[in-house]
Structure 1
Amino acid sequence: MLYLQDIVIVRPAKTEDEYGNERDDWGDAATRIHVAGVNVQPQGGSTEDTDDRQVTVTGWRLFTPRGMDLDLRETDRIEAWGTTMQVAGKVARWPAPGGGVHHVEADLQEVA
């Protein structure tokens, strides 16, 4: 019953700016990968920064069910429930006994 959520992995396209530097393009050229059957839960609460502007950072944790690998990179974003979250750090692929991936975990951050 835990793995009933759907997400979209958003992977940026690579483009060059006017100086020839590579940059991420999160617009229409970005790759969108629909994934069903994962679990995203709150983690660590929220923090606020009011020094320069009002910013709230909320932590989330993504889990896949046993046996499900996920094409998720630390440079990707996740869309779910009308919000966008950034992958925070490395994606953990836990090994299964006998080989393969047991499950995947990733920390996410929503900045609003």
Structure 2
Amino acid sequence: MSNMYSDSVTRLRAPLVTDRYGNQTTDRDWPNAVQTQFRGVNVQPDNSVESVGERTSVTTAWRLVGPKGRDFDVLRTDRLVYDGMTLEVDGEVARYRYAGRVHHVEIRMVRVSG
């Protein structure tokens, strides 16, 4: 594996919350999320947007790129921890295909502060 893919991230997958009547909600139970580590990825800064209005907030994005031929079990509802930051998956996971197989995976991640 090349040095380009020397980062690691931890996937957090949280179960859905069950209400007091036993029905699943659309809320996630993040304190009980299952952690899975992925090594051998490349994470780079993507962009940053600052909005000023009622309050100032900054949205910072990163892009995870996986090595050729490797798929990752990551969903748009997961969170990823990288360099001490908990990041939300932004949109669908991009699985680039070649000859009917996954060539590589790219995941855009964001962190909103403020």
TM-score under structure 2 normalisation?
Answer: 0.87
Alpha-carbon RMSD: 1.5
Cα separation, 2, equivalents of 1:46 and 1:16: 35
Deviation at 1:18? 3.7
Corresponding residue to 1:26 among 30, 47, 55: 30
Are residues 1:50 and 2:38 paired? no
Cα separation, 1, equivalents of 2:24 and 2:74: 24
Residue 83 of structure 1 is matched in structure 2 by: 85
Deviation at 1:21? 5.0
5 Å-filtered alignment, 1:37-76, equals 37-43=40-46, 45-76=47-78
Query: Structure 2: where are the runs of 5+ without partners?
Result: none
Identity of aligned residues (%): 38
Is the CA contact (8 Å cut-off) linking 2:16 and 2:24 kept in structure 1?
no
Cα separation, 1, equivalents of 2:14 and 2:112: 18
Cα separation, 2, equivalents of 1:50 and 1:25: 31
Cα separation, 1, equivalents of 2:24 and 2:68: 40
Amino acid at match of 2:59: V
Greater displacement, 12-21 / 51-60: 12-21
TM-score under structure 1 normalisation?
Answer: 0.88
Number of corresponding residues: 109
Distance 1:21 1:53, change over 3 A: farther
Distance 1:17 1:54, change over 3 A: farther
